[in-house]
Structure 1
Amino acid sequence: MMYLAHYGMSAAPFGLTPNTAFYVDLPIHQQAMAVLTVALSQGEGFIKVTGEVGTGKTLLCRKLLQEAPEHFALAYIPDPHLSPLELRWALALELGLKHSANIDPQQLTQLLQRQLVLLAQQQKQVVLLIDEAQALPDETLEALRLLTNLETEQRKLLQVVLFGQPELNQRLALYQFRQLRQRISFSYDLSVLNRAQVACYVNARLQLAGASQLFSRTALWLLHYYSRGIPRLINILAHKALMLGYGKALQQIGCYQVMQAARDTDDVQAGKPHNSGFWWPLLAPAALLALWYWLPGGWW
C-alpha cells in the first residue's frame, strides 16, 4: 500500500478483511470470548453472538477458529444461505466426509451421526460456527435444530454457535422458533466502542503495524464521532485519513483529514444523528475546522 513506507508501517493496519493479526483485545471482545469459552465447556445447546454490522463478529469467529483447544473439531460455515440439504452437506464436508450424488438426505443424516459418534469416541467436541446467521432460511433453521438432537446418553454430539446481526434476535423471537430459542444456553451482544476504546483500538492497530501514534487527540475524537464506535467504519475512516495525510506528506493525522474522510464515506453520512436532541456534537466538527484555520498546527 502506497503510504506504508511513509508512516514506517510493515502492513496495512486498517484493512476491511478481518485479520486476526490485528485483533485488539478490547473489553467487549474479552467478554465475548469469555462467554464463548464457558459456553463451549458446557458441551450442549446453542450459543448466540449478535452485533451491529461491522462490530467484529467475523473477526471474533476467526479468532475462535484459530485459538480453539485441540480437542475441538470446528466446522465453519461463512455463507449460511443454504437449504437444509446443503447445510447437512456443508457440515459433512467440514467433518471430513466426501460428497456423493448417490446419497439421499436420510442416508446423509445417518452418515453424519456416525461421523459425530466417531469423533466423540476420539474425545473430540464438535462445534459448528455459522457466520451471518441472520441469513439462514426458516426451514434451514429448523433443520439445524433437528441436527442438534443427535446425542449420546452423556452429551450432545454437536454444538452450534450463531454469529449474526440484530435481525437474528428478531427472527428467533417468532413463535415458530420457540423450540430453538429455548435451546440457546448462552448469548452475548457486541456493543459499539466508546471514545476511549476507539483511541485504544486505533493506536493498538498502528502499533501492530509498526507505527507510532499518528492520530491527534482531536482526530481520534472525530473518528469516534463519525464512526459511531463501529470498528469497520473506524477502519474505513482511518485508512482514508492516512491516505490524505500521505498525499500532503504529513507525519500526523489531524481533524481535517478525518473530516474529509467522513465526507467521502456514505455510511457516515447516513448514520449522522441529524434528529438528535444533542445538537452540540453536530457543531463540533465545524468548530474544529475553524480552529484549524486560525490556530497554529500541531495540537489538532
Structure 2
Amino acid sequence: MGTLQYSMYEQHFGLARLPFTLTPNTRFYLRAQSHDRAFATVIHALRGREGFIKVTGQVGTGKTLLCRRLLNALKPPFVTAYIPNPQLDPLDLYRAVAEELGLQKDMVEGQHHLLRLIQGCLIEHAREGRSVVLVIDEAQVMSEATIEAVRLLTNLETESRKLLQVVLFGQPELDTMLRGPRLRQLLQRITFQERIEPFTAKEVPAYINHRLSMAGYNGQDLFRQGALRLVARSSGGVPRLINILAHKALLSAYGEGSTRVEARHARNAVRDTESAIPLRWPWSLKRA
C-alpha cells in the first residue's frame, strides 16, 4: 500500500501518525503488568551490581521495546553497550563491544589483546564511578562459544566489584541453551530473571486504545467491543500480532468508509493473517 493511501488512512480516522507499526517505539510503550515487572527487576538488579540478568519471552511479546526502554532509562553513572544482533563469533563480539565503548580497536589484533583493551576501559570507568552494562538482544542466536566469551567478559573485576554487568534478552530457546552442560557456569551466575508474558484479556483493549491515543486519536472509542474481543482472541495477547490485526482492521474499515472498526472488520483482518489464531479456536487468553 502506497504512502498516499496511508496518508488517507490517517486523515480518515483523525490520526497524526500510524498507530500500529511493527517498529519498536518507546513512545507507544504501555505499562502492562508483565513488562513493568521485568523492567523493575532489571533496574533493581543493575543498581545492586548483579553480574547477569536474563529476560525471555515468546516472539512478538515486546522484548526489543523493553530493551530500548531500558537503554533510554540508563542514565549516568551507567554506561551502556548495545548488541542488537549477537550472531557473531567471539572475536567479532569483542570487536562489537569495543566499538560500543568507543575504543580504537583497528590496531588491535587477536582476542586476547581485545580483551585486555576492553578490561582497561572498564577499569577506567570503574575509577570514575561509572557502571558499564552490556545489553544483548536476541541472545538466543548466540553460539555456545560466543556465550562463553560473554561469560569471560564478566570475569573482569576488581577486589570489590564486577567491572561489567550483562542483560540478556532472548526467546525461550535461550533458556534451553543455557541449561546445557557446557553453559552450566554461566547459568549459575544469572541471579535475576524474568519472563515477559502476552497481554491479558483486559490489557489488549487498553493497549489498542493507548496506541491510538499516542497516535493522536481523541474521538469516541474507535474499536467496537466486538472488534476488540476478536483482536484479543486471535492475537493471543501477543503485541506484534495485535498490531498486525488492528492495522488490518483499520484498513478494512477505511475501505468501507466506516468511521469505527466493527467486528466484521476485525474478522477480515484475522482471515487475512496466517499467524493469527483461527476464530474457531476457544478463548485462551488470561482474564486477569
Q: TM class, shorter-chain normalised?
A: over 0.9
Normalising by structure 2, report the TM-score: 0.93
Please tell me the residue identity of whatever aligns with 2:180. Answer: L
Please tell me the residue identity of whatever aligns with 1:99. Answer: K
Unaligned runs of 5+ residues in structure 2 are: 1-5
* Aligned position for 2:209: 203
* Aligned position for 1:188: 194
2:123 is aligned, of 109, 117, 123, to 117
* Aligned position for 2:3: none
CA pair 77-26 structure 1, distance change in 2 beyond 3 A: same
1:218 aligns with 2:189: no
Cα distance in 2, alignment partners of residues 204 and 104 from structure 1:
49
User: Deviation above 3 Å: which 4+ runs of structure 1?
Assistant: 271-274, 279-282
Deviation string, structure 1 residues 11-67 (Cα, Å, up to 9, x no partner): 111000001111111111111111011111111221000000000000000001112
Q: Is the 8 A contact 1:219 1:258 kept in 2?
A: yes
How many equivalent pairs are there? 276
* Aligned position for 2:78: 72
Cα distance in 2, alignment partners of residues 273 and 145 from structure 1:
45
1:165 is aligned, of 171, 174, 177, to 171
Q: Is the 8 A contact 2:234 2:279 kept in 1?
A: no
Residue 272 of structure 1: how far off its partner (Å): 4.1
1:133 is aligned, of 129, 134, 139, to 139
CA pair 159-281 structure 1, distance change in 2 beyond 3 A: closer
* Aligned position for 1:12: 18
Please tell me the residue identity of whatever aligns with 1:254. Answer: E
Residue 280 of structure 1: how far off its partner (Å): 5.2
Percent of aligned pairs sharing the same letter: 48
2:238 is aligned, of 220, 230, 233, to 230
Task: After superposing the two structures, state which structure 1 stretch, 36-45 or 231-240, moved more.
Answer: 36-45
Please tell me the residue identity of whatever aligns with 2:215. Answer: A
Residue 273 of structure 1: how far off its partner (Å): 8.9
Residue 101 of structure 1: how far off its partner (Å): 5.0
Residue 107 of structure 1: how far off its partner (Å): 1.2
Normalising by structure 1, report the TM-score: 0.89
CA pair 89-181 structure 1, distance change in 2 beyond 3 A: same
Cα distance in 2, alignment partners of residues 183 and 117 from structure 1:
21
Q: Secondary structure at the match of 2:132?
A: strand
* Aligned position for 1:265: 273
Residue 104 of structure 1: how far off its partner (Å): 2.1
CA pair 102-31 structure 1, distance change in 2 beyond 3 A: closer
Q: Is the 8 A contact 2:231 2:245 kept in 1?
A: yes
Q: Is the 8 A contact 1:44 1:155 kept in 2?
A: no
Please tell me the residue identity of whatever aligns with 2:93. Answer: L
Unaligned runs of 5+ residues in structure 1 are: 283-300
Cα distance in 2, alignment partners of residues 74 and 169 from structure 1:
24
1:89 is aligned, of 71, 90, 95, to 95
CA pair 67-33 structure 1, distance change in 2 beyond 3 A: same
* Aligned position for 1:298: none
Q: Secondary structure at the match of 1:267?
A: coil
Please tell me the residue identity of whatever aligns with 2:156. Answer: L
Cα distance in 1, alignment partners of residues 260 and 279 from structure 2:
28
Q: Secondary structure at the match of 1:195?
A: coil
* Aligned position for 1:251: 259
